[in-house]
Amino acid sequence: MAPGTAARQEVSAWRPRVPGVVEVFHARFTEYAYPMHVHEAWTLLIVDDGAVRYDLDRHEHGTPHDTVSLLPPHVPHNGSPVTPDGFRKRVVYLDGTRLGDDLIGPAVDGPDLRDPVLRRRVGQLHTALVRPGEELEAESRLTLIGDRLRTLLRPRLHTHLARRDPALARRLRELLDERVVEGLSLEEAAGLLQAHPAHLVRVFSTAYGIAPHQYLNSRRVDRARRLLLAGRPPGEVAAETGFFDQSHLTRHFRKLVGITPGRYARKPSVR
């Protein structure tokens, strides 16, 4: 550790309401080193600042900032900072419903994946995971991450061509239209429509040029606009249009309309 630099440990951990996610773990460490240990879950790790070195199956590995590391369950590993300034990492632990045992061998052989698409998707997943009310987005992004991991680790078995299925896309859209306020999980939609979650996300995005969670939020914002113009306060509007709370409504309303709900329904002043 550099002279005059105090050891720092900043940790946040929680379990979101997203199927297959055991834990989310965000941490900033300067000098802490993990001893050899194992997890029951898959460890999906990105490092935002600094770097981590670790041993897995008696081989040394590293995690520069552009790498996604996937550590399999029940395989011992450790971890320590590479530089005196330590590291900042974001981790999501996944159960076996997201990644199967068939990937353990490939992940042991090559746990560090330098893939810009995967790195971007994992970052987007964590952004959704810290925001209450974005469970459908997190589930959608996690589904595509799992698909990407399988393609990278077992490319011969997982070569997906983008297939159009307008009938399935339309059925998902109709289901989302029926559940604008109450919403639904991607897992529930997959069960109702008898389709794989990743396939659902792909065919919907291909058909409409928008992801399912984006479509649902845009429908909710449309309803919110009508209620706001009718004079309803933003807090009530958020509850009646399916948003988690007023800040959740505000975030999506401003993104799609360019202004906050509180300012939206104001009449222009007479000049």
Specify the pLDDT at position 84.
Answer: 86
Which domains are assigned to the chain?
10-153 (2.60.120.280), 167-265 (1.10.10.60)
Residue 3 confidence class, pLDDT cut points 50, 70, 90: very low
Specify the pLDDT at position 155.
Answer: 72
Residue 269 confidence class, pLDDT cut points 50, 70, 90: low
Q: How far apart are CA 128 and CA 7, in angstroms?
A: 30
The mean per-residue pLDDT over the stretch 23-37 comes to 90
Look up residue 130 and give its DSSP letter: T
The mean per-residue pLDDT over the stretch 173-201 comes to 94
The mean per-residue pLDDT over the stretch 104-124 comes to 95
Q: Tell me which H or E stretch contains 19.
A: none
Q: How far apart are CA 194 and CA 96, in angstroms?
A: 20
By 3-state DSSP, what share of the chain in percent is helix, strand and coil, each rounded to 5? Answer: 45, 20, 35
The mean per-residue pLDDT over the stretch 208-234 comes to 94
pLDDT above 70 covers a percentage of the chain that reads 92
Q: How far apart are CA 186 and CA 145, in angstroms?
A: 14
Above 60 in pLDDT, residue 6? no
Average pLDDT of the residues of the chain: 89
Residue 59 confidence class, pLDDT cut points 50, 70, 90: confident
Residue 133 confidence class, pLDDT cut points 50, 70, 90: very high
What are the pLDDT digits (tens) for 146-184?
Answer: 999 999 998 765 555 457 889 999 999 999 999 999 999
Above 60 in pLDDT, residue 197? yes
Inter-residue contact 41 to 71 (CB < 8 Å):
no
- In DSSP notation, 213-268 reads HHHHHHHHHHHHHHHHHTT--HHHHHHHTT-SSHHHHHHHHHHHHSS-HHHHTPPP
Residue 31 confidence class, pLDDT cut points 50, 70, 90: confident
Task: Identify the residue with better confidence: 202 or 9.
Answer: 202
Inter-residue contact 231 to 263 (CB < 8 Å):
no
The mean per-residue pLDDT over the stretch 99-109 comes to 93
Above 70 in pLDDT, residue 271? no
Above 70 in pLDDT, residue 265? yes
Residue 2 confidence class, pLDDT cut points 50, 70, 90: very low
Specify the pLDDT at position 268.
Answer: 60
pLDDT above 90 covers a percentage of the chain that reads 74
